[in-house]
Structure formats: structure tokens, C-alpha cells
Amino acid sequence: MTRQLDEYFAHRRRAFDLPLDLRLAKSFRRGVLAHLLDIPYGITESYAQVAAATGSPRAVRAVGTACATNPVPIVVPCHRVVRSDGSLGGYACGPDAKQALLTLEAA
């Protein structure tokens, strides 16, 4: 995992190839985490878009909670989820870290 993280931060990796076991996440949260893995490098989606994609368009706050409790926030890229108005929204590692990851992916 360390090698893959190093490659990610050096712009040599866009996706992680690690075995992930999401079984501890319950149904909705697991669906959110699985969807986050499908958001491409350098692309963002709104919390509302993620809610709709997981079949619960009104569960915007629940998407935020699922992102906030993500146990592997870089590997499962919750930093790619922003507010509908384009502002950052929350991030478990703080707004500066979220902005830094989005900036890294935009480079």
C-alpha cells in the first residue's frame, strides 16, 4: 500500500490496486463507498450526484456521513465528492487536505 500511495502522490498512479473488503459497511454506506471507487481520477461529483447514483437521491446527508466514516479516504476517494455549488464540503482529514488532493489530481 505504501508503494501505491507514493506513486499516487508522485503522479504515477491514478487508481489503487488493493484488495478492499467493504463487508463491514452496511448496505447504503457500502453502496456509497463502492460508487466512490468509480469516480475517475481528477473528476468530482456532488453529494447529490452520489446519492442519486446509489439509488437514494434524497440521501445527500447520508452520503456525507458515509464519506466522513470512510476508513481509507485516499484509496476510496471521498475527496472527489463536493457540494452541488462546487465548494469543497467536509473531509475527515480537513479542508486543506481535500483541496491538496483535488489540486494534485488536477495537475
- Residues designated catalytic: 78
C-alpha dihedral sign at 36, 42, 46, 47: positive
What's the rounded Cα separation, in Å, for the pair 10 and 57?
Answer: 36
In the chain, how many H helices and how many E strands? 5, 2
Q: In the Cβ-directed half-sphere of 45, how many Cα atoms lie within 13 Å?
A: 22
